[in-house]
């Protein structure tokens, strides 16, 4: 789960990380009022969306008057901001963060991520801040500093000092840098975050180290014990297809294709996506219905898949172990009847109670195509989808 910049800064501030003063605004008038509270010559109006590269899209503006603030806020609010991270659909701006302007003398990059190879938190830092880590890696690979944190003892002060000195900071700034680095690590560790990124971390003209931008991501599986974090969720920034499914306990990831997938098990789901592509189709989603799926859960899965208006065919692929094929078949029949499903539907069942499941499908009298293997199922659903699409083009 991602959160907004201003929320990330509020959390980091609690762990001793220095952040600029600012306030949230939901209207141009409120943005002007927030700037007046800051009482500086300049302020920065920032669109709050779950994406980087906002500045390039016009989502970050330095303003020096009330009129400029109102104009910037009016332009941003209600607009879908399109960056290379959001895709062409963009993300809706429904709140702004008005922040005091900072006198920047130096920009740094500081990130904390979970390295699955190391099985530890890794600190990634660079003296070339202000741009994405991918760009830093491509343009200034020698500037990247990596430090692995031992989970048994956590981030130690000597590690933070080594990172700070490697960034080329003046000796007088080292204590501030150590405080910021250890504070970011504590936030990641104590809040069940999967990533903490401060980009840029700046040295101001007055000799302060400040987190000018911040991004935090959290492990959704740990939110049950972090209610204060789950309350920060902004569903307007999420894919509505994924939000619908995730709120109902389904593991769903939206893709760009036309063939919806309902599968049990992450590995089998990945194999199903591959087989659809090999057969000449494009999957519309990854959906793991989970173990022990009841007919009601299967029906919910169909609804989640059909929330995507691009879906034109559906493949159900179940290898039942904990699941039961008869439960899946009952759910499929119920979904076709209740949702009045007209698009091509191919079902492949294997495993526990497969004979009972096949019998339920065959005796339903519904237009459901069955398949014995995954390869056969993928070929059938792609062929039926292409046939249906060709007929629609002829009618048009």
Structural domain boundaries, residue 155: 104-229
| Residues 161, 292 within the same domain | no
In a domain, 15, yes or no: no
Q: What is the pLDDT of residue 82?
A: 92
Does some domain include residue 311?
yes
Burial class (CB in 10 A: 0-12, 13-18, 19+), 338: exposed
pLDDT-wise least confident of 85-94, 135-144, 202-211, 317-326: 135-144
The verdict on 260 and 374 lying in the same domain is yes
- Considering the domain architecture, whether residues 247 and 225 belong to the same structural domain is answered as no
Distance of CA 347 to the CA centre of its chain: 30
53 and 35 in a common domain: yes
Q: What share of the chain in percent tops pLDDT 90?
A: 76
When pLDDT is cut at 50, 70 and 90, the band that residue 396 belongs to is low
Judgement on whether residues 124 and 66 belong to the same structural domain of the protein: no
Phi, psi of 156 (to 5 degrees): -100, 155
Could you tell me if residue 317 is inside a domain? yes
Q: Are residues 207 and 292 in the same domain?
A: no
Report how far residue 108's alpha carbon sits from residue 97's, in angstroms, rounded to the nearest whole number.
22
Domain boundary among 202, 229, 256: 229
- The answer to whether residues 263 and 356 belong to one domain is yes
Domain boundary among 72, 100, 128: 100
Q: Can you tell me whether residue 170 is helix, strand or coil? A: coil
Q: What is the CATH number of the domain that holds 330?
A: 3.40.50.261
* Beta-carbon contacts of residue 224 (< 8 Å; ≥ 6 apart): none
246, 170: one domain:
no
Question: Nearest 10 degrees: CA dihedral of 352, 357, 358, 361?
Answer: -160
pLDDT of 326 higher than 80: yes
**Do residues 284 and 201 both lie within one domain?**
no
pLDDT bin (cut points 50, 70, 90) of residue 91 is: very high
Burial per residue of 23-41, b for 16 or more beta-carbon CB atoms within 10 angstroms, e otherwise: bbbeebebbbebbeebeee
Least Cα distance to 208 among 116, 103, 294, 338 occurs for 103
Phi, psi (5° rounding) for residue 226?
-130, 65
Q: Is residue 2 included in any domain, yes or no?
A: no
pLDDT tens digits, one per residue of 233-254: 998 888 888 888 888 888 899 9
Q: Show binding-site residues.
A: 46, 99, 102, 107, 199, 213, 264
What does the pLDDT look like over 356-394, one tens digit per residue?
999 999 999 999 999 999 999 999 999 999 998 888 777
Residue 14: inside a domain, yes or no?
no
* Average pLDDT estimate for 154-162: 94
How do residues 27-66 score in pLDDT, each as one tens digit? 999 999 999 999 888 999 999 999 988 988 999 999 999 9
Answer yes or no: do 159 and 80 share one domain: no
Indicate the number of domains in the chain. Answer: 3
Query: What DSSP assignment string belongs to 254-288?
Result: E-SSSEEEEESSHHHHHHHHHHHHHTT--B-EEEE
Select from 50, 79, 100 the last residue of a domain: 100
- E strand residue ranges, the chain: 22-25, 43-47, 60-63, 80-81, 91-92, 96-100, 104-115, 120-126, 144-149, 193-204, 209-211, 215-218, 251-254, 259-263, 285-288, 313-320, 345-351, 369-371
Number of neighbouring beta carbons within 10 Å of residue 340: 7
Q: Would the pLDDT of 108 be above 80?
A: yes
**Collapsed DSSP state (helix, strand, coil) of residue 59:** coil
% of the chain surpassing 70 pLDDT: 99
**How much is the average pLDDT of 111-124?**
92
Distance between CA 235 and CA 243 in Å, rounded? 7
Question: Strand, helix or coil at 347?
Answer: strand
Q: Is residue 156 part of a domain?
A: yes
CATH number of the domain enclosing 200: 3.30.470.20
Cα angle 29, 35, 40 (rounded to 5 degrees) comes to 155
Residues 6+ apart with CB under 8 A from 258: 281, 282, 284, 310, 311, 312, 313, 385, 389
In a domain, 49, yes or no: yes
Which residues are annotated binding-site positions for ATP? 46, 99, 102, 107
Question: Which residues are catalytically annotated?
Answer: 109, 197
Looking at the structure, do residues 108 and 91 belong to the same domain, yes or no?
A: no
Distances (CA, A) of 137 to 56, 141, 145, 308, 344: 20, 4, 11, 36, 46
**Looking at residue 55, which CATH number applies to its domain?**
3.30.1490.20
Domain match, 270 and 338 both: yes
- In-domain check, residue 138: yes
**Residues of each annotated binding site for substrate:** 264
């Amino acid at each position: 789960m991602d959160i907004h910049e201003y929320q990330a800064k509020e959390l980091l501030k609690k762990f001793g990380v220095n952040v600029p003063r600012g306030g949230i605004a939901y209207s141009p008038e409120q943005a002007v009022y927030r700037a007046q509270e800051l009482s500086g010559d300049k302020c920065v109006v920032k669109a709050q969306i779950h994406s980087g590269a906002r500045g390039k899209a016009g989502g970050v503006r330095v303003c020096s008057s009330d009129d400029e603030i109102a104009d910037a806020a009016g332009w941003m609010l209600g607009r879908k901001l399109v960056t290379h991270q959001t895709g062409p659909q963009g993300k809706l701006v429904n709140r702004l963060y008005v922040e005091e302007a900072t006198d920047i003398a130096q920009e740094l990059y500081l990130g904390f991520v979970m390295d699955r190879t190391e099985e530890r938190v890794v600190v990634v830092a660079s003296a070339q801040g202000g741009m994405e880590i991918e760009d830093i890696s491509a343009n200034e690979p020698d500037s990247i500093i990596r430090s692995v944190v031992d989970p048994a003892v956590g981030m130690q002060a000597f590690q933070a000092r080594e990172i700070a000195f490697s960034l080329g900071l003046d000796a007088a700034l080292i204590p501030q840098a150590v405080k910021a680095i250890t504070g970011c690590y504590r936030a990641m560790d104590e809040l069940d975050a999967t990533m903490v990124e401060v980009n840029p971390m700046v040295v101001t003209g007055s000799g302060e180290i400040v987190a000018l931008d911040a991004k935090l991501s959290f492990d959704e599986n740990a939110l049950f014990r972090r209610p204060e974090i789950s309350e920060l969720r902004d569903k307007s920034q999420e894919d509505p297809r994924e939000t619908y499914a995730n709120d109902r306990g389904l593991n769903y990831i939206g893709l760009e294709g036309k063939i919806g997938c309902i599968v049990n098990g992450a590995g089998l789901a990945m194999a199903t996506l591959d087989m659809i592509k090999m057969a000449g189709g494009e999957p519309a989603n990854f959906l793991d219905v989970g173990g022990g799926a009841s007919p009601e859960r299967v029906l919910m899965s169909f609804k989640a898949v059909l929330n995507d208006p691009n879906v034109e065919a559906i493949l159900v692929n179940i290898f039942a172990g904990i699941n039961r094929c008869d439960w899946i078949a009952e759910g499929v029949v119920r979904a076709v009847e209740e949702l009045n499903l007209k698009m091509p539907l191919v079902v492949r069942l294997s495993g526990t109670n497969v004979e009972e499941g096949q019998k339920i499908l065959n005796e339903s009298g519904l237009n459901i195509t069955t398949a014995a293997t995954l390869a056969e199922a993928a070929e059938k659903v792609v062929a039926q989808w292409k046939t249906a699409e060709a007929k629609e083009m002829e009618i048009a």
